Amino acid sequence: MRRSRQIKLQVFRGIVFLVMGAFFLVPIAAMFEFSTRGNSVTAPRTLVAWTNIFKTPDLVDAITASLELAVITSVAMLVLLLPTMVWVRLRLPSLHRVVEFLCLLPITIPAIALVVGIFPINRWMRINISDSILMLSFFYVILVMPYSYRALDAGLAAIDIKTLSEAARSLGAGWSTVMLRVIVPNMSSAILNASLLSVAVVLGEYTFANLLTYENLQVAIAYVGLVSAGTSIAVAVASLLFAFVLLMILSFVGRPRERMARAEEPIVPK
């Protein structure tokens, strides 16, 4: 009885896995198929669209800029959000809901409305600070905040941050030591999650860059698509695969302690 239920459960799991896999992979496979078509119906398969990626300087620049933006945004988000969230949890718990509301707010506002709001600031920054595309990272921090906040909040909730920080303080640690040597190592999974979500959001961002007239990866894909649909689809597939690889890293590398716990035999409490 129990065995047959287990088999049914496994079959159900397999079906769900297959359906979900198909849901994600069929469109990517179709895109890959499209990007490798020749010029006519009878023409053989070709990787010209893929090799064009590296022959299009604007595209390479846009990819580089997007990757730089992703790194800068992730770091800025962590530097801004993590100490704030830790401080609120330790010292100002009554502000927890307020900070949560502020951090989640950007997800409720359409990107187009956000752009209208930040347009004057962006113009001032372009004139007075720099015209570099990397200035976009200031606005991307706002954009990734809801996703990163959730990931970091889950990480903070998983450890007794108050007791750990007080224990470290009583042993002589200053606040920077508490952050870097006690809190950060104990929420490495959450930090990795937050960072990868930020990277995924930044790599897929189009509206901000396009309306503020910067050329990032998605804007470049759109431009290339006007000239060569195959190349633009190839870049889109590549960026999706890149995001997929990041998520795989998240799944397999992001849980060092669980792996450690499995690797070593737990001691039975006496």
Residues that bind another protein (CB under 8 A): 159-160, 163-164, 166-174, 177, 181-182, 185-186, 257, 260-261, 264, 266-267, 269-270
Tell me the CA end-to-end span of the chain in Å, nearest whole number. Answer: 37
- Residue 189 Cβ vs another protein, minimum distance, rounded to whole Å: 11
Taking the C-alpha atoms of residue 135 and residue 72, their distance in angstroms, rounded to an integer, is 10
Q: Which amino acid is at 93?
A: P
Question: Quick one: 128 or 176, whose CB is closer to another protein?
Answer: 176
**Identity of the residue, 135 or 191, whose beta carbon is nearer to another protein in the bound complex:** 191
Q: Looking at beta carbons only, is 58 or 166 nearer to another protein?
A: 166
Taking the complex as a whole, the smallest distance from the CB of residue 186 to another protein amounts, in Å, to: 6
Question: What is the length of the chain?
Answer: 270
Q: How far is CA 39 from the centre of its chain?
A: 36
Cβ proximity to another protein: between 131 and 264 the closer is 264
Q: How far is the CB of 191 from another protein (least distance, A)?
A: 13
Tokens for 211, please give them: 């309306």
Among residues 226 and 267, whose Cβ is nearest to another protein?
267
Rounded to a whole number of angstroms, the minimum distance from the CB of residue 168 to another protein is 7
CA 52, CA 58: separation in Å to the nearest integer?
A: 11
Beta carbon of residue 270, minimum distance to another protein (angstroms, whole number): 6
Q: Which residues contact 268 (CB under 8 A, 6 or more apart)?
A: none
- Residue 81 in contact with residue 152, Cβ under 8 Å? yes
Asked whether the beta carbons of 39 and 189 are under 8 A apart, the reply is no
Shortest distance (Å) from residue 269 CB to another protein: 3
Q: Which is nearer to another protein, 102 or 171 (CB)?
A: 171
Residue whose entry in the numeric block shows the structure tokens 């809901």: 97
- From the list 151, 120, 117, 106, the residue with the least C-alpha distance to 254 is 151
